[in-house]
Chains A and B, each alone.
Chain A
Amino acid sequence: AQSVTQPDIHITVSEGASLELRCNYSYGATPYLFWYVQSPGQGLQLLLKYFSGDTLVQGIKGFEAEFKRSQSSFNLRKPSVHWSDAAEYFCAVGASNTDKLIFGTGTRLQVFP
């Protein structure tokens, strides 16, 4: 069965600083990987996804993520954070034989001016 770990519960960065949110997954085959963002009181919005091909994927709002099979990781990055990026970020993994997505426990991002 697949699983996802987001080691960082809470991260604080200054506006304009770079950001990396960690995600590690466990799955025997090539997984489907996602990053979602949840603003307070809102639903989840897809930032980016990886199914196959180029391991560096670009998403919305200037985010990117890199799939590293050797490290079972799919870390999310942004070169320069904006105050509006403050939100909860969820990594998720899916498998080829099910429609189910398994979510990590989330990382709360706080941005200081």
Chain B
Amino acid sequence: GAVVSQHPSRVICKSGTSVKIECRSLDFQATTMFWYRQFPKQSLMLMATSNEGSKATYEQGVEKDKFLINHASLTLSTLTVTSAHPEDSSFYICSASLTATGELFFGEGSRLTVL
């Protein structure tokens, strides 16, 4: 089946630094990827839709300058948390859409801890 991989799975950084999380579709091309955020014991919240070759579409309330998304190829989307603060600590998950069926495949998630 289709596999989506995220890297890193865990990252700890200091407040004020920027962190990049990668989302790769390993065996299929994904024109559309999605980024979610999940707080402890809460649901996944869609942050943005990442489209290959164009600007990401952000959900209401998500700061686009804070969470930079780049989808430069059909197999890679990156989420950069800029000037991270402790309140940005969360579990970030990506998904990629298999064009043929529209089915979504999820990455394993990346846990960000900002000290």
Same complex for A and B? Answer no
- B residues with a Cβ closer than 8 A to A are none
